[in-house]
Amino acid sequence: MSTLLMTTSASQTLIRLIAVAVAMAAALAIWTVAEAAFGIDVRAPVFDGSPEPLPIRAVDVLLVSMLLSFAGWGFLAILERLTARAAQVWLTIAVAALALSLATPWAGTGVSVPNRVVLMLLHVAVGSVLIPALYRTSVRQSP
pLDDT (tens digit per residue) in 72-99? 999 999 999 999 999 999 999 999 999 9
Q: If you write DSSP's letter for every residue of the chain in order, what string do you get?
A: --HHHHHHHHHHHHHHHHHHHHHHHHHHHHHHIIIIIT----EEPB-TT-SSPEE--HHHHHHHHHHHHHHHHHHHHHHHHH-TTHHHHHHHHHHHHHHHHTTGGGSSBS--HHHHHHHHHHHHHHHHHHHHHHHHHS-----
Of the candidates 3, 6, 22, the residue with the CA atom closest to the CA atom of residue 134: 22
Q: Is the pLDDT of residue 5 over 80?
A: no
Regarding predicted confidence, which is higher, 108 or 69?
Answer: 69
In this prediction, residue 51 carries a pLDDT of 82
Least confident of 47-56, 71-80, 100-109, 122-131: 47-56
pTM of the model: 0.88
Q: Is the pLDDT of residue 58 over 60?
A: yes
Per the prediction, the chain carries an average pLDDT of 91
